[in-house]
Structure 1
Amino acid sequence: MCRCLGVKRANYYKWLHHERSQFDKRWNLLIETVRAYHETYDHKLGYRMMKDYINHDKGTAYTEYQVYKVMRYLDIKSRIRQKRHNCTVRAKDAKAAPNVLNRDFNAAIPNEKWVTDVTEFKYGNRFEHKLYLSVILDLYDRFPVSKKYGDSNNNVLVHNTFDKAVEAYPEAHPLFHSDAGFQYTSPSFQNKLREHGMIQSMSRIGCCIDNGPMEGFWGILKCEMYYGKHYRTKEELIYALEEWFHYYTYERYQRRFGVRTPYEVRSEALKAETPAEYKIPENKRIMKYKQEHYKSRQATIYKKSIRHDN
């Protein structure tokens, strides 16, 4: 064989018995670890989250670039979010509350600010059935305070979600933010908020970013357990949702919280006299957009002033 390949026998045996370098061992270990985590977490993890999970669990210090290279080598990719279709139904002549939250998504303590929304899932052999999920999320730690399932997107679903949250935290009096759907503008729901000493806040019409954290939560949920899946029965879909909520609450690390879960952050905060604050870092793309928008607006104002003077 060596003669056919033009290789010296001494070189062949040297290669056969050579000891792997530390780099090769570390590289192969990372390959096996990434492959295992990709399967364990059902293709949910991109290279950033993959790095956080491995370093947190294994006590290693891999960089994002190292994990990225391995994922490219293995041709591993995480799921991509799809655009969400809004299922909000607006009431005619509804009395919408002002946007008190005003995109201030930071919260200093648990139960200071709650956001809520309803989303839709389809199941069945031909996706002919619908299931609605209503969730209340705490902006401090992104902890799901309450959730309820329903066959209809109606007042009962929203009321039951609210009642469950109040039962869990009877002393809470948060700012309560939602969209302007008919359930939240109904007099009965607004009376519930007043009875529990909560201030109501609503997103402006057609402005989803006013409830950005809730929209982001739906995106994570559907990307990780719904898109690309086919649930044939209601029970199968609800079971998958319950599994995901357990994973999100107790196992899904978030970089903003120092690679910890919402449950860990909440448990620590509720015991502390002065809970730690987790400021939301400014998104670089949003900062760039604001700067460009500001310059464009200033240029427009300047041109108008020149025309006016002339």
Structure 2
Amino acid sequence: EEGLVAHAPKRRGYGSCEGETTPAPGNLADRDFMAERPNEKWLTDITEIKARDGKVYLSPMIDCFDGKIVAYTAGFSPNAEPANRMLEKAASTLPGNARPLVHSGRGCHYRWPGWLDLMERYGLTRPTGAKGCSPDNAAAEGFFGRMKTESVYPERWEERTRDEVLVLIDDCIRWYNHERIKQSLGWMSPVQYRQSQGMAA
């Protein structure tokens, strides 16, 4: 009646499961994406964002405790290097002996030797979801969906260049961590919530 139209996302063209090189570990998270404290359980995946002159690939690390983006990388190729670099950035934020369970999709990025070596180096546990089963990594998929629904599609990122999209991603994640309020956090952003609890933001 109000003339509102829901956005219907198009089918993904990029498949990250191609080129799997190692057996997948079990799904230790078992679709339980709750955490009682920071750095207990992390999630990661890769999504593509269309730009005027190509695509940009975003790889974030999400803390299940409050949804904070711990670290992220974005680039023009969906190869292993951005995912590995993101894991190194995320691991560098860990305090003391924190060793989170790192749940990922089942894409090749998370089964290539470079990722496996980094996981072992930092002493991190490596469950994955089932191949092609988005509910097994629903929290990461949820972040991508919110980001695209709230920022990418309304602001027509597909009309921007890839370099411009990289800047927009930086701004979006900074806003998501510091300003976007969540009902589950008492109407605070992840950073505000941690500060309110006396935690390092």
TM range (shorter): 0.7 to 0.9
Say what the alpha-carbon RMSD is for the aligned residues. Answer: 2.3
Matched, 1:146 2:74: no
| 1:245 Cα offset (Å) | 1.4
Count residues in correspondence.
Answer: 196
Secondary structure in 2 matching 1:120: strand
In terms of fraction of residues, the more helix-rich structure is: 1
Preserved contact between residue 87 and residue 118 of structure 1 (Cα < 8 Å): no
Q: Which residue of 2 aligns with 1:284?
A: none
Q: Does 1:177 align with 2:103?
A: yes
Residue of structure 1 equivalent to 2:123 = 197
For 1:92-171, what aligned pairs fall within 5 Å after superposition?
A: 92-124=20-52, 128-169=53-94, 171=96
1:86-143 deviation line (CA, Å, top 9, x unaligned): 734222453111100001111010000000011101112xxx4111111000000100
Q: Where does the alignment leave 5 or more consecutive residues of structure 1 unmatched?
A: 1-71, 273-310
Query: Structure 1 residue 249: deviation in Å?
Result: 1.2
Q: Distance in 1 between matches of 2:5 and 2:95?
A: 39
Q: Which residue of 2 aligns with 1:214?
A: 140
**1:12-27 paired onto structure 2 within 5 Å:** none
Q: 1:225–1:201: structure 2 CA closer, same or farther, 3 Å change rule?
A: same
What SS does structure 1 have at the residue aligned with 2:81? Answer: helix
Determine whether 1:233 maps to 2:161.
yes
Contact 1:175/1:198, CA 8 A, preserved across alignment: yes
Q: How does 1:62-101 map to 2 (within 5 A)?
A: 80=7, 82=9, 85=12, 87-90=14-17, 91-101=19-29
* AA at the equivalent of 1:87: Y
1:102, 1:196 → 2: CA distance? 23
Q: Which amino acid aligns with 1:134?
A: S
Q: 1:187, CA displacement in angstroms?
A: 2.2
- The structure that has the greater radius of gyration is 1
The residue number in structure 2 matching 1:34 is: none
Superposition TM-score, scaled by structure 1 size: 0.58
Alignment of 1:280-295 (within 5 A): none
Q: Give the letter for the 1:233 counterpart.
A: T
Provide Cα deviations, 1:186-222, integer angstroms capped at 9, x if missing partner.
1221121112111101001121101111000000001
Q: Report the residue type matching 1:246 in the other structure.
A: R
Amino acid paired to 2:184: R
